C-alpha cells in the first residue's frame, strides 16, 4: 500500500509504506549518564539485550547511541507507531522485566536522566 508523500518530486504511488516512513508515530529519547565507570558493561548489556520490546504492539525499532565526546552518556531512541503503544509498554511488567540485564551496581548521574517524546513530522 502506498503512503501519501507531500512532495512534487515523488508520486504517492511510488512510496511504499514501511516502519521507517510510516506516519504518524513518535520517537522516544531516553537519555542518561553513567556515574560510576560502568560504561563498557552498560554498552555490552545493550548489545546483548533480550529484544523483549521487539514484539510489542506498536514498536517499530530501537537504536542506542553514545556521543563520542562523552562516552558515559547514553541516548536510547525507540520508534513507535503511536503514543499509546509506547505508554502501554512503558507501564507494563514486560518493560520492568526488560531491565533485568542492567549491570548490578549501576549508578546514574543525578539530574542527567530524561525521557522525551518527539512527534514524527517527516520520515
> What's the pLDDT tens digit per position in 57-108?
999 999 999 999 999 999 999 999 999 999 999 999 999 988 888 999 999 9
- Tell whether the model's pLDDT for residue 48 goes beyond 50: yes
Task: Write down the pLDDT at residue 122.
Answer: 81
Task: Give the Cα separation of 106 and 72 in Å (integer).
Answer: 12
Instruction: Compute, in degrees rounded to 10, the torsion defined by CA atoms 52, 56, 59, 60.
Output: 70
Query: Using 50, 70 and 90 to split pLDDT, how confident is the model at 10?
Result: very low
Determine what percent of the chain is predicted with pLDDT higher than 70: 80
Instruction: Compute, in degrees rounded to 10, the torsion defined by CA atoms 21, 45, 31, 55.
Output: 40
Sheet holding 26-33, edge to edge: 59-65, 73-80, 26-33, 114-119
- Tell whether the model's pLDDT for residue 20 goes beyond 90: no
CB atoms under 10 Å from CB of 24, counted, come to 11
Bridge partners of residue 73, in order along the sequence: 33
Task: Write down the pLDDT at residue 100.
Answer: 87
Mean of the per-residue pLDDT values of the chain? 84
Amino acid at each position: 500500500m502506498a503512503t501519501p508523500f507531500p512532495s512534487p518530486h515523488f508520486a504517492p504511488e511510488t512510496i511504499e509504506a514501511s516502519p521507517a516512513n510510516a506516519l504518524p508515530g513518535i520517537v522516544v529519547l531516553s537519555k542518561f549518564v553513567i556515574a560510576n565507570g560502568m560504561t563498557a558493561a552498560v554498552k555490552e548489556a545493550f548489545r546483548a539485550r533480550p529484544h523483549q520490546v521487539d514484539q510489542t504492539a506498536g514498536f517499530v525499532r530501537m537504536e542506542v547511541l553514545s556521543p563520542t565526546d562523552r562516552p558515559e552518556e547514553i541516548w536510547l531512541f525507540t520508534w513507535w507507531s503511536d503514543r499509546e503503544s509506547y505508554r502501554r509498554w512503558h507501564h507494563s511488567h514486560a518493560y520492568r522485566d526488560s531491565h533485568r540485564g542492567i549491570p548490578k551496581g549501576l549508578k546514574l548521574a543525578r539530574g542527567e536522566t530524561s525521557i522525551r517524546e518527539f512527534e514524527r513530522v517527516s520520515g
